């Protein structure tokens, strides 16, 4: 029997991916729900920008450990960390800050 939470998560990742692509980003979805869920790349003003996006159906599902992991990886890669989540049907994408 398929896992409903996994299906919801996968569906939400594809929704965020399509949203970013419509904004002009090239988006890679990490297979098997590995960390981070999405890597978005775009050339802006002659500079390559990279965003690491962790997708959570529910904002409260983003643990303190995940915050540390995405901030550490972002610092290492020179990328900007984001959390994508939804409230009802509305999509939110917020930059992740250290505190």
Each of the 99 residues of the chain gets a pLDDT tens digit; together they read 457 667 778 889 999 999 999 999 999 998 776 789 999 999 989 999 999 999 998 888 788 888 999 999 999 999 999 999 999 889 999 999 876
Question: What predicted TM-score, i.e. pTM, was given to this entire model?
Answer: 0.88
Identify the CATH number of the domain in which residue 54 sits: 3.40.1350.10
Q: Which residues contact 84 (CB under 8 A, 6 or more apart)?
A: 12, 16, 37, 38, 53, 54, 55, 56, 91, 92, 93
Single out the residue of 31, 77, 69 nearest to residue 51, CA to CA: 77
Q: Which residues contact 60 (CB under 8 A, 6 or more apart)?
A: none
How many angstroms separate the most distant Cα atoms in the chain? 48
Report the number of distinct structural domains present in the chain.
1
- Give me the domain span that covers residue 44: 4-95
Reported residue count of the chain is: 99
Contact 3, 28 (CB under 8 A): no
């Amino acid at each position: 029997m398929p896992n409903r939470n996994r299906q919801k998560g996968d569906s939400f990742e594809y929704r965020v991916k399509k949203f970013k692509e419509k904004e002009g980003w090239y988006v890679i979805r990490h297979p098997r729900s590995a960390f981070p869920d999405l890597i978005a790349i775009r050339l802006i003003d002659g500079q390559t920008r990279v965003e690491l996006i962790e997708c959570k159906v529910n904002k409260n599902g983003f643990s303190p450990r995940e915050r540390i992991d995405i901030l550490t990886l972002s610092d290492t890669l020179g990328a900007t960390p984001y959390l994508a989540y939804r409230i009802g049907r509305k999509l939110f994408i917020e930059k992740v800050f250290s505190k």
